[in-house]
């Protein structure tokens, strides 16, 4: 059974710093990996999707990498801003066919950017 | 930009009552999902739906749960006899086309409170 772990569980840094959030998964047979942002009491906003054949994806100040064989992904946030404060979730989609594409989520990293 | 919508935003019900949570997926999407998030816990996959039938369900999705696409736009989750432990945020998601690379887009969620 796939397990997704995110470290650290919480992180507080001053504005302007670059930071890295970590995600690991136990079963490397994945189709893709998605990073989401969740604001308190709100839904999930998709940030980046990395296909299993890719090594990284970039969107603005965000860069996500994937090392499928070692079961790890990182989300790099450059020049952090107070508006980046949120919980960041990592989720993997299994490689199995037959319509099995439910995502397995980590518990998230709660990020606070201090002004 | 197209988005997934969900109604109601908050539902309060008595234990043992039936509830129906409603979702309008993104209009050209073909794959539909329900997830739930108990307060303070991970987002968990419940069920996926394609071509008017369930394609995958988790062990959480027992006989108390059912899904339906009653028309061309709505996608519903019914809980027949709610329990206290069904209290959670329920998220609907949708994905487009046959491409397995497409990301899942999430709605804002319905907070279900069972008293």
Instruction: Quick: pLDDT tens for A38-85.
Output: 998 888 999 999 999 999 999 999 999 999 999 999 999 999 999 999
CB contact under 8 A, B42 and A107: yes
Alpha carbon of A111: minimum distance to chain B alpha carbons (Å): 15
CB contact under 8 A, B33 and A36: no
B112 to chain A: which residues are within 8 Å by CB?
none
Q: Is cis: bond before A90, omega within 30 of 0? A: no
What is the token pair recorded at B12? 């309060």
B106 to chain A: which residues are within 8 Å by CB?
36, 43-46
Alpha carbon of B89: minimum distance to chain A alpha carbons (Å): 9
CB contact under 8 A, B33 and A102: yes
Residues facing A72 on adjacent strands: A24, A67
* Dist. CA B89–CA B43, nearest whole Å: 9
Per-residue pLDDT tens over the stretch B7-42 = 999 999 999 999 999 999 998 888 999 999 999 899
- List Cα–Cα distances, A19 to A11, A15, A67, A74, A79, in angstroms: 9, 10, 18, 10, 8
* Dist. CA A82–CA A102, nearest whole Å: 32
Alpha carbon of B107: minimum distance to chain A alpha carbons (Å): 6
> Is residue A95 very low, low, confident or very high in pLDDT (cuts 50, 70, 90)?
confident
């Amino acid at each position: 059974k796939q397990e997704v772990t995110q470290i650290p569980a919480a992180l507080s840094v001053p504005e302007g710093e670059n930071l890295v959030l970590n995600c690991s998964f136990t079963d490397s047979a994945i189709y893709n990996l998605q990073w989401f942002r969740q604001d308190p009491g709100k839904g999930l906003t998709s940030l980046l999707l990395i296909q299993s054949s890719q090594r990284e994806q970039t969107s603005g100040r965000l860069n996500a990498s994937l090392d499928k064989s070692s079961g790890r992904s990182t989300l790099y946030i450059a020049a952090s801003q107070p508006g980046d404060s949120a919980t960041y979730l990592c989720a993997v989609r299994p490689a199995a066919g037959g319509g099995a594409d439910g995502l397995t989520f980590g518990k998230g990293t709660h990020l606070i950017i201090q002004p | 930009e197209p988005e997934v919508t969900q109604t109601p935003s908050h539902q309060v019900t008595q234990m043992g009552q039936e509830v129906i949570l409603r979702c309008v997926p993104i209009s050209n999407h073909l794959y539909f999902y329900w997830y739930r998030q108990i307060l303070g816990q991970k987002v968990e996959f419940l069920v996926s739906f394609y071509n008017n039938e369930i394609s995958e369900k988790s062990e959480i999705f027992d006989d108390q749960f059912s899904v339906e696409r009653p028309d061309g736009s709505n996608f519903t989750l019914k809980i027949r006899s709610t329990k206290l432990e069904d209290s959670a945020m329920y998220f609907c998601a949708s994905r487009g086309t046959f491409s397995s690379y497409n990301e899942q887009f999430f709605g804002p969620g319905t907070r279900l409170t069972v008293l």
